[in-house]
Structure 1
Amino acid sequence: MRAAAQESLNPRGARTRPPPRGFRPVAPAALDEALEMIDGAAPPPPHRSGTSFARSCGFKAHCLLALLGAALLALLLLEPARARAEPLSAANTASLAPSPSSLPLPLSSEAIHPSSLPLPLSSEAVHPSSLPSLPSSEAIHPSSLPSPLSSNVTHPSSLASPLASNVTQPSAVPSPLSSEATHPSAVPSPLSSEAPPATHPSTPRGGAPFASHAPPPRRSHPPPPPPLPPPPPPSPPHTELAQGYLSSAGAPTPPLSARPAAPPRLNLVEEAAAGVGVWGGSCTCPDGQQYQVGDHADFCATLACVGGVSGECQRDATGPWAGRRVVCAAPPGPLWRRWGESAQLAAAAVAAELTVEEAASLVQGVGWEGYALREGYYVGSIGAIDRLGLPSINMQDAAAGFRTLDDRQVGEVTSWPCALALAATWDPRLSRELGHALGREFRAKGSNVILGPSVNVHRVAHNGRNAEYLSGEEPSLGAVLTAEYVRGVQAEGVAAVVKHFVLNSQETNRNTQSSDIDDRTLWEVYYPPFVAAVEAGVASVMCGYNRVNGQHACGNHKILVEDLKGRMGFEGWVMSDWWAVHASSAASHGVDQEMPGTGYFAPPKLLAAGADVRAMARRVLAGMFGAAAYAQPECSVGRDCWAPLYAADATSAAHDALARRLAASSAVLLKNERRALPLRAGATVALLGACDARHGMAPSSSAWDAADYYVIGGSGRVISRKARSVRQALAARGVRLLPAPAAGVPAALAALRRADVGVVCGGGATREGADRPSLRLDQDDFIRTLAAATRPADPPLVVAAFCPGAVAMEWHGGVAAAVAIFLAGQAHGDAWADVLLGDVNPSGKLPLTFPLDERHVVRPCAAERCAYAEGLAVGWRALHGKRVAFPFGHGMSYTAFNYSWAAPPPRGLAVPRAAAGRGGVARGGGEALSLAVRVRNVGGASGAEVAQLYVAFPPAAGEPPLVLRAFAKTALLPPGEAGVVSLRLWPRDLAVWSAGAWTLAEGHFGLRVGASSRDIRLSHDLHLEAVG
């Protein structure tokens, strides 16, 4: 496992950038030790005397400066003459290092732990690597010096050398209790007579140490030293993870040293911190780039080519550090937000401190009594570990916002449009905006884990949870929107959980049916949204209820261990869906956390099953650290969560506006004849059908107040009293509405003929636990009969469809116009009014197909084994050449657009075979081919358009006739204006999954750009040759 861990330290090839702040080097031996402890689930070793210089402090810290100043003054008086007489060498420079016995002993009985001091907010702290190197292969370990100084404070050895002509006065040295540390670049090097240039604390580090030239020659007369940089601004109060998190009131939890519950042991980062001198040479980083390293360079800075994370430094063969590996890691802390090796190392450090019972508490939920949720708990809860300062993990469903399980929560959270409505926007920016807003609301309600997004690609059109699934029928659409959603949520310090992995395609027999599928279809159709989530750094993946090829998804070694954690490189934790674990052995087959906690993952059962409990806990910690989801928790379940759960108002006017904008942006104008829409000013409107409904046609099992609105039953329940019906919203805008007619087609037809236009509303229900019995709207018979009864001279009839998923529309030929909005949350009525009145020009596109009827769609499977015999021909791909009501990608506007090439695409392309990449990297390697398309508004209204790039593979590749590979939405274009969008085509987009890897498909490709899958505006042929 150690080798595997080291190989996966930077699995996605981070680009060149300055090192993150607050990094310290971690010696390989200490990392190996931590990983060994995790491998063997062994308890932490007893404290070793002599390794903690901080805990043995015996003097007052304020006395240290006086003694230190006296020692330095003596050195300054005695050394200059000898220094001028002796040439520099490794032998005599070693003697410049202060002897441990020459340093004053601490005066206080209160230990000053390095990690108890504030973390630096910049990378300007003096690093132990500025110490003079010894002429041996052993680094000077800070613990060998009996000093209370932390790594955030200037070390005596980083002061001006007696060999320099200018000396930094002791008064310029920060106090050991101050967080203002002097950067090495501001102090002359002990091994050089040349003072390096000063660096302001706010200046990013990076360029100079990595220049591709040798270190400059020494000068006989050093230049005057630069002035010291101004002190950095005071840091906001925060503390390291090992020392506890700040509570919402700002008070830190007690440090580890004050907690006697476990044998004392130093934090991994402190214990392993070592000053590593680099003697020159080149640093070869995992991305293949090389940088020259000068004398005594900060080792973490030399690894900036991988973001300060890790790397192999190939130094001079004769140097004492040749062939040595050193890993740079950030000290674990609540403000650490980057996903990468540092989250893994932080998790390893904390996991090494866990007892078996504490580790087990992280891998099973608490809070449910049977199927009833306890007061003061969330849908999913993991208890706090107070000894280590770890708050509780508080999870809540998120199909349409924070799930309102309790009526006290009604009105306190936003009821957002469903995920399928977001998919209809085809707008990655809106997906990220929604993610940010959800993260803020969940945090305000005390939750640090959002159980979403749900991203399963639609296979079964009747699936009761399709409204929750962000991908629609297309994996490429789902992949892009999923990644942005995850980034938005986790930027707010809330961990995202992508679900349901995988093939949870129907609710019928969902706990028992097996989805039987081939590997190629998995990787090309159903995995891409999950791969994109992993690429975005998602904290957790939830496995589903169903079986996959005969094995329960929660416990399926192939999909969880080999594919997800192996080929995809997922580094977070796998949690089960609620009650989806069927045996303790699931822990040995990829499940890291059992929810909501039913006993399968109790410690005795896990140990009997041979599970590595500590490794499972480490993955949970890594996911939480990577998303910064432990930072500043609002509450701990079972103790003080009542206020955020039941009283905190997480809504805002900005969120209400975003919900309305998102709902209106998702509107899909299916048809618009006779200029029926937008409604003309002053027109008299007859509202027919379900236009008074404030909800998405609630399922019969629900009995909520008629004044309420909710989107989806089951885990998607979000109630809001802010929703208005279409009638209310239009009336509030001053539209002349006829009184609602009596029930029945004759009365509706009479009302239509008294009006200028008729709007007939229809909707449908959907919920978890059951599939839709039909794809027709509940008012389908009414709409069909009314449409058939109208005459050409009658006023135009407009259908407003409140859609829970795909809708069969056999009647579409008999109506003048039709608009579809997927369940829109609290903005339902207002969004409809915005679109019908033309205040918002529809720009949504269908993320699935609206069939004419139900004959050509895949229905729920009632058998125990359900074969995915259609292979790659899923959803809209299977309907190529067949008549449909409205095709995938379709969506009209109140204006019109034309397309042209902004630059001619190439006719041929030579791509290295390796560019297709291995499994798990969303777009593989290589360069992207960018197709520039100009979209011009040639109509009379401002509007936005979505340009879609489809690819026709060579016949030998065995792909469907067309597959979506890219899309881009323009800005709002005024009439006559044009915008250029870039459609990027990666080598992976021209590859197929074969024999466990991506393989480029060579030959002639057809590139098709259009407004939908059946409205192609531009075509281009491209010949691809794989080389190498």
Structure 2
Amino acid sequence: MKWQPAVILGFAFVAVLVPISGQTVPAEASNETRVDRLLSQMTLEEKMNLIRGDVEPAATNQGQAGYLPGVPRLGVPSLRFADGPPGVLTRVAGQAQSATMAVAATWSLNDAEQNGAAIGKQARSLGIDVVLQPFINIDRDITFARSYNTLGEDPFLTGAMGAAEIRGEQAQGVMSQAKHYVAYDSDSYNVFVDSQTLHEVYVAPFEAAIHAGVASIMCSYNKINGPFACGNGDTLKTILRDEIGFKGFVTSDWGGVHNVHFLNQGLTMEMPGELASDSPFAAMMRTYFRTSPEDSAAPSKPNTGALAGMLGGTIPEETKGGSMDLDAFPMDSDSATMRTALQDGSINEAAITAAARHVLYEIDRFGFLDGKQKHDVTLQDFKANGEIIEKTAEDAAVLLKNEGGVLPLKARGSIALIGPTAGQVAAIGTFGERSPGVPELQTGPLAALKQLAPGAKVTYAVADDMTGATIGASLLSHDGKPGLLRTSADGASRVDAVLDFTKGNRKALPANSVVTWKGEVQIPAAGAYWFYLQLLGTRGILSIDGKEVGRSGAVKGTVHGDVQHATQDNGLPTTDGLDNIRRAVELTAGKHAIEVVTSIDTSNAPVQVRLNWMTPEARARAHQEAIAAAKSSDTAVVFAWTRDKPHFELPGDQDKLIEEIAAVNPNTVVVLNTSQPVAMPWIDKVKGVVEMWWPGDEGGPAEAKTLLGLNNPGGKLPMTWAKSLEDYPATSPAHPERSAKGVDGKTTFSEGLLVGYRWFDDQKIEPRYPFGYGLSYTTFELSGLATKTASDGGFDVTFKVKNTGAMRGDEVPQVYLAAPASRPQGVQFAPKTLVAFERVSLRAGEEKTVSLHVPLRAMQYWSESKKQWVKADGPRELFVGDSSRALPLSGTVALPGGL
């Protein structure tokens, strides 16, 4: 959907849940008599087809993450599982939703549910049955390679937002799979957590998901207190089944099974199960639930080059690490398969039947036995989903600093927009388990701002040109002759003056062309040259001087359809919509051998290939042009970005750029497109900062509206923003046992309950911005706190919120409960804990009464000795405010004792 500025979206700025269009939420129970009858008719192998993944036939495969073959003979359909969050990843590019952290920053259950609905509808359009989301681990360690995909640091906020998303997804007739269970909150694969913390922090969001009716849960890669999470009887059977009462199925993370006997410890389903022989995962992931004879051939070795390419590589601005360490991935720990386990009696058919029953229970519950699933691929509703994406991006905007009212921007002044994410939308941040986005639907902040403020004088300087310029013909040769030698798969050859074959210049090659270009490039002077291999409809590898420099992320045999998506390798595609493999290479002056090799993906699209670069001189010139643009404008707006590699830093020279711009323009504003906190060495030198996260395909208009005041930012931080990385509990130098490396190979969550703001409170560390923080273009006042007991053993909190400013805006009042004055011995409490919140929309001068319920569970702790929830005795202080460090209202609540 190309954005139209005249369209006004009809969303109410409220926190209450609204009906979701489409199907109704599935009933909590299935027809168990029917389930048991079907199971009684199945052979052993048919039951295995309900608990072991397989390879979908090529004729129908959508390149999704997983496939379950079902039992066609009995009318039990197959299931497709697709990655997220957010969105859905298949062969067909889906719209990019706002990042999960952006959804969390809305602090709106309505936004979370609407995002779930959009994901569910996208899944239906793409023929998917199970969406592998929400991601409800805790943002405990911001150096964890996957922490950017969480819903923040607080278990209550995470659980509430995740549950709302599940309701939205499953209302569309799609199963949700909450992940990753449990304590997968570190790059460590060997984690130790005490029982109280495990229940109150890490299991808590999954309990909320189960109460929301989630169909399935994915167990995680890590060990938890000894056993692997996918074979841990304590977490899977005792906690998940017995304590919480989960009835759905538990799927292993892909390659998370290391012993066939995990089935006896509570695992339901192995994924990916049987693998295609050409999969690069074949050497990493074994099929333990195999009932056929073992393959006697020698095991293959992992294709580390292909796997590294799939993870996106490191772009020139990322001089430090941050990607997942494949070498640390747990490998096989046992050789027995289901075939041998059945033979020796260590697993019996009853255990297989019980596991298959959990799967069939959900298949029936969702109506899939009655034909209610959808496997055909149809057009996505770009307009309706786009409206949700834009609304979420607007609601997620967090105003961090606004000195002297520098924002909103003056619609008739001169404005310089600076940075590549000012010209293009930083829709996804980093490619991974998510919708890749549809670049042709995107309008950048620059274009949107020009449309919204036609009276403003807007200039643009890219500063860091990610598209670059095609390497000129005068610099390319082969065998002493001009041009590069092109050789096709059939052996035919010709010479090309430049490597530039795109739809834009009408020179795209036919679909499924396989081509190699060889020759030399003339380097005019020694230095760091940034090479950009740009392509679509094909895969490619760039080599210089005989050494591979970079390759595209699409890999034959992987789980995403071997289709090269435009956003795969750089986050931002080229300005004309090609994928962009960008690498920095130090070269001496003179000629250097260069080679580009392509291979087919499965898109059947025209093959587009181009070789661009940025010379050292061109990069320096672009940097200076940005400084000049800022100097000659009333206001300079720098768009800064990160893919969370490196951690807690802006990649490249962005910090330097911001400081230099602030030095020449006193009205400098920074727009952040990140998903985690970053160091801000320039914070005292700029007037304004707004966090826009990775906003999705419709982020450009949302960012422009926020800057111009057409959207009043009302988002709040879902994590604490520290002044230094060492201030966080997981990265404190005083506690190496908490780090991903750990001590003696063990990572111990020794901070216990003190995650995020709780740690900062306990240790009296002043954050840069506290949890729950966010400014507004208007002002609010809270008053009239009152509490009363509720019938469920909890209590209700009532207070008033008034908009005391001059424009409409949203406030998010937050309720925190203090630790009891008298604490039972051996029980840990945080100084205060979030127990309720609501997003409230108010016109200028309007006042509303807000009533929030705090359930009994908020007053309880998990007793390790009693192995149950126990209410803490005595009165508790209660605080209400607009962040964890701004709590103007306080009172005391005292409830009767007991459990």
Scaled by the length of structure 2, the TM-score of the pair is 0.68
Alignment check: 8 A CA contact 1:417 1:663 kept: yes
- 3-state SS of 2:720 partner: coil
The alpha-carbon distance between structure 1 residues 661 and 336, as it changes in their structure 2 partners (threshold 3 A), is closer
Choose from 862, 882, 899 the match for 1:993. Answer: 862
The alpha-carbon distance between structure 1 residues 605 and 339, as it changes in their structure 2 partners (threshold 3 A), is farther
Alignment check: 8 A CA contact 2:423 2:447 kept: no
- 1:9-37: per-residue Cα shift (whole Å, max 9, x none)? xxxxxxxxxxxxxxxxxxxxxxxxxxxxx
The alpha-carbon distance between structure 1 residues 618 and 851, as it changes in their structure 2 partners (threshold 3 A), is same
Paired residues for 1:735-746 under 5 Å: 735-740=456-461
The alpha-carbon distance between structure 1 residues 542 and 746, as it changes in their structure 2 partners (threshold 3 A), is same
Choose from 920, 940, 948 the match for 2:814. Answer: 948
CA shift for structure 1 position 753? 3.3
**Equivalence for 1:352:** 40
- 3-state SS of 2:787 partner: coil
- 3-state SS of 1:441 partner: helix
**Equivalence for 1:976:** 845
The alpha-carbon distance between structure 1 residues 475 and 354, as it changes in their structure 2 partners (threshold 3 A), is same
The alpha-carbon distance between structure 1 residues 364 and 601, as it changes in their structure 2 partners (threshold 3 A), is same
CA shift for structure 1 position 783? 4.8
From the two aligned structures, give the one with the greater strand fraction: 2
**Equivalence for 1:938:** 804
Choose from 227, 232, 237 the match for 1:556. Answer: 232
1:579 counterpart = 2:255: yes
Distance 1:492 1:810 in 2: 46
Alignment check: 8 A CA contact 1:606 1:613 kept: no
Distance 1:384 1:892 in 2: 52
Choose from 787, 809, 816 the match for 1:905. Answer: 787
What is the one-letter code of the residue matched to 1:940?
A: A
Structure 1 residue runs without a partner (length 5+) = 1-333, 636-640, 697-708, 912-924
Distance 2:190 2:56 in 1: 28
**Equivalence for 1:726:** 445
What is the one-letter code of the residue matched to 1:428?
A: L
Distance 2:246 2:180 in 1: 15
Distance 1:549 1:373 in 2: 44
1:523 counterpart = 2:199: yes
Paired residues for 1:123-202 under 5 Å: none
CA shift for structure 1 position 634? 5.6
What is the one-letter code of the residue matched to 1:944?
A: D
**Equivalence for 1:861:** 740
Alignment check: 8 A CA contact 1:777 1:807 kept: no
**Equivalence for 1:426:** 107
Alignment check: 8 A CA contact 2:53 2:67 kept: yes
The alpha-carbon distance between structure 1 residues 545 and 839, as it changes in their structure 2 partners (threshold 3 A), is same
The alpha-carbon distance between structure 1 residues 368 and 592, as it changes in their structure 2 partners (threshold 3 A), is same
Alignment check: 8 A CA contact 1:544 1:554 kept: yes
Paired residues for 1:263-412 under 5 Å: 337-340=26-29, 342-367=30-55, 375-376=61-62, 378-404=64-90, 406=91, 409-410=92-93
What is the one-letter code of the residue matched to 1:586?
A: F
CA shift for structure 1 position 444? 1.8
CA shift for structure 1 position 569? 0.6
Distance 1:997 1:787 in 2: 57
**Equivalence for 1:894:** 777
**Equivalence for 1:789:** 663
**Equivalence for 1:806:** 677
Alignment check: 8 A CA contact 2:120 2:174 kept: yes
**Equivalence for 2:304:** none
Distance 1:712 1:784 in 2: 22
**Equivalence for 2:832:** 962
CA shift for structure 1 position 373? 12
1:478 counterpart = 2:158: yes
CA shift for structure 1 position 457? 1.0
Alignment check: 8 A CA contact 2:125 2:380 kept: yes
What is the one-letter code of the residue matched to 2:342?
A: L
Distance 1:814 1:348 in 2: 68
Distance 2:873 2:661 in 1: 51
What is the one-letter code of the residue matched to 1:724?
A: T
1:610 counterpart = 2:488: no
The alpha-carbon distance between structure 1 residues 932 and 570, as it changes in their structure 2 partners (threshold 3 A), is same
The alpha-carbon distance between structure 1 residues 832 and 779, as it changes in their structure 2 partners (threshold 3 A), is farther
The alpha-carbon distance between structure 1 residues 456 and 479, as it changes in their structure 2 partners (threshold 3 A), is same
**Equivalence for 1:668:** 398
What is the one-letter code of the residue matched to 2:355?
A: M
Paired residues for 1:420-499 under 5 Å: 420-470=101-151, 472-499=152-179
CA shift for structure 1 position 714? 2.6
What is the one-letter code of the residue matched to 1:847?
A: P
**Equivalence for 1:755:** 633
- 3-state SS of 2:822 partner: helix
- 1:519-576: per-residue Cα shift (whole Å, max 9, x none)? 0001111111100111111110000111101211111111111111111110001000
CA shift for structure 1 position 809? 2.3
1:874 counterpart = 2:755: yes
The alpha-carbon distance between structure 1 residues 741 and 443, as it changes in their structure 2 partners (threshold 3 A), is closer
1:541 counterpart = 2:209: no
What is the one-letter code of the residue matched to 1:378?
A: Q
What is the one-letter code of the residue matched to 1:878?
A: W
**Equivalence for 1:137:** none
The alpha-carbon distance between structure 1 residues 474 and 878, as it changes in their structure 2 partners (threshold 3 A), is same
Distance 2:462 2:77 in 1: 58
The alpha-carbon distance between structure 1 residues 978 and 587, as it changes in their structure 2 partners (threshold 3 A), is same
1:713 counterpart = 2:431: yes
1:655 counterpart = 2:655: no
The alpha-carbon distance between structure 1 residues 1001 and 783, as it changes in their structure 2 partners (threshold 3 A), is farther
The alpha-carbon distance between structure 1 residues 745 and 447, as it changes in their structure 2 partners (threshold 3 A), is closer
**Equivalence for 1:681:** 411
What is the one-letter code of the residue matched to 1:976?
A: G
- 1:601-634: per-residue Cα shift (whole Å, max 9, x none)? 1242452431511111000111233334555356
**Equivalence for 2:15:** none
What is the one-letter code of the residue matched to 2:461?
A: A
- 3-state SS of 1:550 partner: coil
What is the one-letter code of the residue matched to 1:617?
A: A
Distance 2:357 2:43 in 1: 12
Distance 1:335 1:719 in 2: 28
CA shift for structure 1 position 878? 1.0
Distance 2:357 2:209 in 1: 20
What is the one-letter code of the residue matched to 1:679?
A: L
Alignment check: 8 A CA contact 2:56 2:69 kept: no
- 3-state SS of 2:114 partner: helix
CA shift for structure 1 position 516? 0.4
Alignment check: 8 A CA contact 1:797 1:815 kept: yes
- 3-state SS of 1:825 partner: coil
Structure 2 residue runs without a partner (length 5+) = 1-22, 275-286, 292-338, 464-619, 732-738
What is the one-letter code of the residue matched to 1:969?
A: R
Distance 1:627 1:889 in 2: 37
Choose from 493, 500, 506 the match for 2:180. Answer: 500
Alignment check: 8 A CA contact 1:808 1:885 kept: no
The alpha-carbon distance between structure 1 residues 387 and 741, as it changes in their structure 2 partners (threshold 3 A), is closer
Distance 1:576 1:812 in 2: 44
1:845 counterpart = 2:716: yes
Scaled by the length of structure 1, the TM-score of the pair is 0.59
What is the one-letter code of the residue matched to 1:869?
A: S
